Amino acid sequence: MKFEDYPVAASPPQGINPCDGCALRQLDAFLPASDEELKTIQSFRAGIRRVEAGGSIVEEHRPSTQLFTLYAGWAFRYKTLSDGRRQILSFLLPGDFIGLQDEFAEGQTHGVEAVTDATLCAFPRNKLWPLFHAQPKLGYDITWLAAREEKMVDDNLVTAGRRNAGERVAMLLMHLYRRAERVGMVRDGWVEFPFNQQHIADALGLSLVHTNKTLRRLQRLGLYKLDAGWLRIMEPHALETLGDYFERPLRPTPLI
């Protein structure tokens, strides 16, 4: 089983009305869109973009002229200090909307990098306001997505600020697993886990070495398994308790 096989084809449909056949939108995780909304989204969309694993989707400090919806693959938002220390701000999964913050940030922007090969739907930034104007409902949806994303950063801030190493790792594993599960990326209890330990360290605000030791400890305790880039949560309750992190089932969200 390869990553590209799901949750949907790596490429969105092409042709005249590509959004009509959007496989992502079939998932329970996303709200249905009316015909009119779909038409507006489609006219908002400029095309698709592919980025290979490790490639840059949005460069730090260089505001992108496009917005994106991640269609397939894993990515993350990050910032770096001038001496190179990097902090991953949040991870991105299919359905996540990318680039809103830049809209009003004037150069102090975060970067976005693909972890796996990724496919994105691109939208020209200068059509954002016309979109709000034409379909206030879609504007409301975008605000929804922005608020949801901020909530995730809030949680990550609590993690970096107040959890110890073991709690951080437990929280992150559960968080990533639950989110992947939601968009249909879990098969038989296993989810593709394409991150290396440097990613995890940068997300948690830990050093690489300490991240490794903490991961090994939780693994030896039998809380999770990691095999050839696939993750399986063995003791979800233990991890949730350790991390003091209990993700409620999320309502379906809009998909732009």
Please identify which residue in 16, 147, 188, 228 interacts with its own copies, judged by CB under 8 A: 147
Closest distance of CB 202 from its own copies, Å: 8
140 binds its own copies per the rule CB under 8 A: yes
- Is residue 86 at the binding interface for its own copies, with CB under 8 A as the rule? yes
Closer residue to DNA, CB minimum distance, 101 or 198: 198
Residue 95 or residue 243: which is nearer to DNA going by CB?
243
Short-list 254, 237, 256, CA closest to 245: 237
| Shortest Cβ 27–its own copies spacing (Å) | 18
Q: Could you tell me which residues are beta bridge partners of residue 122?
A: 47, 68
Of the pair 173, 256, the CB lying nearest DNA is at 173
| Cβ proximity of 190 and 232 under 8 Å | yes
Q: Is 212 in the site for DNA (CB under 7 A)?
A: yes
Q: What is the spatial distance between Cα 3 and Cα 115, in angstroms, rounded to a whole number?
A: 12
- Enumerate the β-bridge partners of residue 112: 58, 77
Structure tokens at 140: 């409301």
Cβ nearer to DNA, comparing 208 with 250: 208
Q: Report the alpha-carbon distance of residue 64 to residue 86 in Å, rounded.
A: 20
Q: With contact defined as beta carbons under 8 Å apart, do 149 and 218 qualify?
A: no
Quick one: which of 58, 89, 223, 242 contacts its own copies (CB under 8 A)? 89
81 belongs to the binding site for DNA (CB under 7 A): no
Q: Footprint of DNA on residues 157-196 (CB under 7 A)?
A: 164-166, 196
Question: Smallest Cα–Cα separation from 149: which of 98, 109, 86?
Answer: 98
Contact 172, 203 (CB under 8 A): yes
Query: According to CB under 7 A, which one of 153, 157, 158, 208 is a site residue for DNA?
Result: 208
225 contacts DNA (rule: CB under 7 A): no
What strands, in cross-sheet order, belong to the sheet with 47-51? 47-51, 118-124, 66-72, 97-98
Least Å distance between CB 255 and DNA?
31
Residue 235: CB minimum distance to DNA, A:
19
Contacts 24+ apart (CB under 8 A), 10-17: 10/72, 10/73, 10/117, 10/119, 11/48, 11/71, 11/72, 11/119, 12/48, 12/71, 12/119, 12/121, 17/42
Residues that bind DNA (CB under 7 A): 164-166, 196-198, 205-216, 228
Residues that bind its own copies (CB under 8 A): 77, 79, 81-83, 85-87, 89, 100-101, 103-108, 110, 128-129, 132-133, 136-137, 139-140, 142-144, 146-151, 153-158, 160-163, 204-205, 244, 248, 250-251, 253
